[in-house]
Amino acid sequence: MGIKLPKPYYDAGADCLTCFAANTTPDKVYVRFFLVGPCVPHTPPACKVPPNDRVFVVPQQVGFPCNYDYVDANWHVQFTFNLAGPHRSWLSLTDQPGWLYFSDTIPGCMPDGHVFHNSYVACGALECASGGIGIVSWTHEALDLMSKLVIPTGDTTFMEFFADDANNNVYRFASHYFRMNLKIKAD
C-alpha cells in the first residue's frame, strides 16, 4: 500500500543546478503510471502488461545529477530535468529489451507532482502501449501538505499518489498506528 514517507524532507543528492538551488536536488524521484493501455494485437513479439499503479523509486544517476534511472529485469524508467537541446524535462518507460511504452517531454524544469501525458497515442511498429499518464514526485508537495495538516511522517505513515479523472493529483495518506486514511486532491 504505497511508499513509506521519509522524515522531512528527502535526502539531497548531487546538485542539478539547472533546476534546483544548491543542496536541494532530490536523490530519487517517485514515478507512477496510470491508464497506459497495451497495444492489442501486439506488434512486437513479446509485449508485457503496462505497469499501471506501480510506484517506481528512481535513483539519481551517478555522474549525471539531473538524470534519474531505474532498471530491473522487466522495466527501464528514465527521467531527466535537463534533456539536451532546448531545455526540457522528460519521462520514459521501456521494457527489457527496449520496446516503447511511455514518453513525454515538457519545456523547462517540471514542478513536483507534474502529470505527464503519453506521447504514444497509437500503436506502431515499436510501441507496446499507448495513452495514459505518468506522475513524477519527490514528495515536496506531499510533505508540505502533511506539515500543514500536522500529519506525522516516518515509518508509520504511508503515501500513494495518483491522478483522478480530471488529471488532478490525489494524495492518500494512511497509518494503522494513527488510524488514519486520508485523501487530498491537489489542483
Cα torsion angle, 124, 71, 116, 167, sign: positive
Domain spans in the chain, listed from the N-terminal domain onward: 22-137
Between 23-27, 125-129, 168-172, the lowest mean confidence (pLDDT) is in: 168-172
pLDDT of residue 94: 95
Rg (CA), the chain: 17
Q: Which of 85-94, 123-132, 160-169 has the lowest mean pLDDT?
A: 160-169
Chain CA centroid to CA 187, Å: 17
C-alpha cell at 149: 495538516
Question: What's the confidence (pLDDT) of residue 186?
Answer: 66
Q: What is the mean pLDDT of residues 19-23?
A: 89
Closest among 2, 25, 179 to 109, alpha carbons compared = 25
* Helix extents (H) in the chain: 140-149
Q: Is the pTM of this model over 0.95?
A: no
- pLDDT confidence of 8, banded at 50, 70, 90? very low
What pLDDT is stored for residue 11 in this prediction? 74
Beta strand 88-95 with 75-83: parallel, antiparallel or unpaired? Answer: antiparallel
pLDDT at 1: 45
The predicted structure's pLDDT at residue 164:
76
At 24 the pLDDT is 87
